[in-house]
Amino acid sequence: MPDRNQAALDFLLTRRSRPAKTLGLPVPTRAELEPILQAGLRSPDHGKLEPWRLIVLERAALMRLAGLVEARGPELGRAPEEIAKARSQFADAHLAVAVIEVQKTSEKIPAIEQSYSAGAVCLALLNAALASGWGANWLSGWASHDRVWAEAALGLGEGERIAGFIHIGSETSAPPERPRPDPAAVISWMSE
């Protein structure tokens, strides 16, 4: 039987994202954030393409993004409450990591596998932040899917898109546990 890392398994069986609106100060320092970022970069990456990059967003950058949401929302016909919610994702935050999917040309690695790899980076960053004792949440939203906003906000180039924003900070309140999937309803076994 292989060696078991019970602490890691216990963490994964009890991990819980923290709502971004409950994350406050302090946030990790650059030195405290480095191992979290490194853990994220250890995600599955078929063909070693590195189909992603990270942008660490500090407070001033987040406020700039909030302003861009406020300006872009009406252009897209978004309702005021949708704009306010998307704006608060950035305006109320103190630290976030934007995970940028970077599609690479490859004869062997399909685009969808590159997208999966970028998603794996998001989850790895989220779990690494939580395992480090910080509160964390993975968010996206309408603004992150709008090409005009993404280019203005983060300078995305061709073949790049936002996989998610990982918000990290100190937990100010613990949410109640939410219902989890019933394993019997979503797991099947095949023996032949």
Binding site per annotation, positions for FMN: 15-17, 42, 46, 138-140
User: Nearest to residue 28, comparing CAs of 39, 13, 12?
Assistant: 39
Burial 65-85 (b: 16+ CB within 10 A, else e): bbebbeebbeeeebeeebbeb
Burial of 116 (0-12, 13-18, 19+ CB in 10 A): middle
How far apart are alpha carbons 180 and 170 in whole angstroms? 24
Annotated binding-site ranges:
15-17, 42, 46, 138-140
